[in-house]
Structures are given as structure tokens and as C-alpha cells.
Structure 1
């Protein structure tokens, strides 16, 4: 038994568009339903959602029956947490608020065994199917996917240097935090914010750099893809539930059928 190929990593390296969805509800059932919808990847959020290691493992397990890659957004850069998540079977990561190439390099090292990194060695864990995947340790990094979030003006200016770090597979725009840092809190459509987003996404046009973004509005997603994004989240489980739940309720409230008067 050998390590399974990471289709997200290989497809992005070949320049293919990979469309994903954010999973924020902390539910293995919801994640399993969405895993069968046809998205290339699902992001399980460990930063702004009520998730922990165990709930993320359950979502990863639920999605594993489908052809979608589970990406986990970590809550921090803690290398001990990275080690624990990797031993638990997570191989694709999105790290928040990376400001410099040095930070990116440290995160890559956290996902690699020595001599290329500092990941602690465990003989048998979920990642190598409890010891059944032969040759896992020296090859684990080949299927590990590392994306880092660009969420400030400083990070946007350093994006090319960050993307150039060996082992960084993608740079990913966080429009909300970026807009806050650039003085347009809650308004990612501000002209200055959009210009900054475009400057990062267009790095993807060189054929070597992978750029991505969270874009819950379809018109935004299409524009960002035109600008060079190939690693694109087009919505979230929470957004789908609230938008369609609210719309369904509103349609029936609009009927406003009067109840018959009491006899």
C-alpha cells in the first residue's frame, strides 16, 4: 500500500482551475453532503469556526469517500499543532496571516520531516494508515499541500517573495482581513482593495505561481479567475444554508394568505 496522490496539488501545478467551498459549521454530516457535490476541494475552517482536531478528523473521514481534497485552515502557525494534524491524516493546509517569506519558510519546515524540516517522527498514525503505508515518511512531503493567506498590505507587497519559497504551493487572498488592513473594513470591493487583490492574483499568470481567493459572490469569483486565480473558494456551507433558507422562508411569507375568521 502506497501514499495516495493529492489531486489538488497536482492539478494546480498543471494550471487547472480548482473550485472549492468553505466548511464552517463543524458538522461531519454537512461536510459529507458537500463532498459529494463535485467540488475539487473543501476547506474545513479551524480559525473562525467551532472546530477542533477531533471534529476536523470526523469531517476528513466523512469526505474521504469522495473525490474531493480536504484542506484545513489552521488557527495559528504553531508547529506542534501542524504535527498533530498531519499525524491525524491532514495533508493540505491553509495558514492564516502570513506576512513574510521567512514565516512561509517556517511553515513549510513544520510540514517536513528532517532533514528538510522539523516535523516530529511517529512510526504509526492515521496519516500512514497506522503503519500500513510503506515508505510513507520519506515521501510524505510530496503529497503535502501548503497554501498561505495574504491578508494585509504588507503581505501583498511581499507576495511574490512568499510564493517563491520552495514548498509553498499557493498564495491565497483573504479579502475581508485585507480590506480591514487597508482601511476599508467590510468593503472588499473598495477600489484600493481590488487593486491590491489583482496585484497578487496576477502573479498566477507566470505559469509557476498558484494564486487563490475566497469569493462567495459568483461575479467576484469569475473576475478573480480572469485575473489569474486558480485556487478559488466560491461559497460556504453557512452561506448556502442562510441564503437558501432565508429565500425559501421569504417566498412563503410573501403568500400572506389570510386565515379564515373564527366562527
Structure 2
């Protein structure tokens, strides 16, 4: 495996030395950005280190310097690096990263061996969706309540077949819409869509888990029907917490 030293004299061997140069192909920039982001979020290149110069990256990826330059600019826009004229491209600390960026978040989830990122995602999602459920309990219209009831009935009808998962998602989307909180809704959708890319998030589905999920959604629905914001928030938070614990594989639990 070849070893390349960065501008700070630090070696980078994994993402530069483990694969041969790539042949030119469509969407090369997308592939380069993906690999660079993955190298950074996995710690192959640590904060404070610099990426290798354009020439080295161009040779390794089998693309032009222009593609490399544009790709590095894209990861700078995501908050992962800082390009300093004459000093190279320095990796920034995690506090600077835009973790809601779809590519960054996907890379974090994809390389989340301990599922710590998914644990954090469940906490954030529970907080946001709990807040939206509370808002929906007081802001929802009669039509939205009727739609939510129909959505729950559809979940009950589809338990045991492949449509259940989408029916579950639809229920949550209706609650979000009824909350009128567009920002929380947008953030939650980003988090959920990225999490669903991981098989460690979806987990195994059993008949018992489906029934528990239905019971939890019923509590959310009843609270929204009553206009009880506190109960709706607590029911949604608890559902997201325990649903994740049901799916979370024991082998991935942290000590």
C-alpha cells in the first residue's frame, strides 16, 4: 500500500492507497466527493491535517485537476475543510461540519459501526417529532384529524404486508404537516431519509413489533384527538425511543 504525506507531513494511506486510480466515467465528481467525505468522517484524515495536493488526488482518482478542485470546493461548502491559498486544504473539526447535508449525513450513517450516530438521530428525531405532535394537537384542523384517523386505519389494515412501513411513514408525515412547523418537518425528513438507507436502522420486523407500533400510534392519535399537547408530545417521543430500541441489534449496544 502506498503512503502519501499531507502538507503537514502526516501520512494518508487508506483512502489514497487502497484502490487503483479510477478510469474516467460519468459523475466522477460525485464519486470523488463521496470518497473524500467518507475519508474525513471516518477519521482517515483528522481535523487539523491537510488533504494531499491536487496533483496527488488527481492521479489517485484518475480524474482531472479541475474535477478535484471542484470536488474539494464542494466539501468546503459542507463545512468539512477550509481551503487556504498557499497552505493547502485543512480538515476542520466536527463542530464545523454541516451534518444535515445529505452526503455528510449519509457518510456518517454508512460508517456508523457502533450505531452511535443512529442513537443520536433517534434522540433528535424524538425531540423534533414530539414537539410537532404537541403543535399538531392544538393546531390541526378537522380535515387533518380525519386524514390522520384514516392513516391509522390504513396502518391497521396493512399490518403483515409490505405496505405497512409506508403507512407508518405516512402517519408521521400527516402529524408533521398538521404542526405547521416547516423547519422541524424539513430537518426530520432529512434525518429519517438518511437513516432508512442503513439496514441497521430498519432492523427485523416481527408481528409483535408491528402490534406494539400500532398501539403506540393509537396513543399519539388519541392525544391529538383530545387536543392534549403534552400527552401527544410524550407519546411521540416515547414511540420513537422504544421503536428504535426494538430495532437496535444487541450486538451493536455500547458498553
With normalisation by structure 1, the TM-score equals: 0.25
Higher relative helix content: 2
The higher radius of gyration belongs to 2
Q: As a proportion of its length, which structure holds more strand?
A: 1
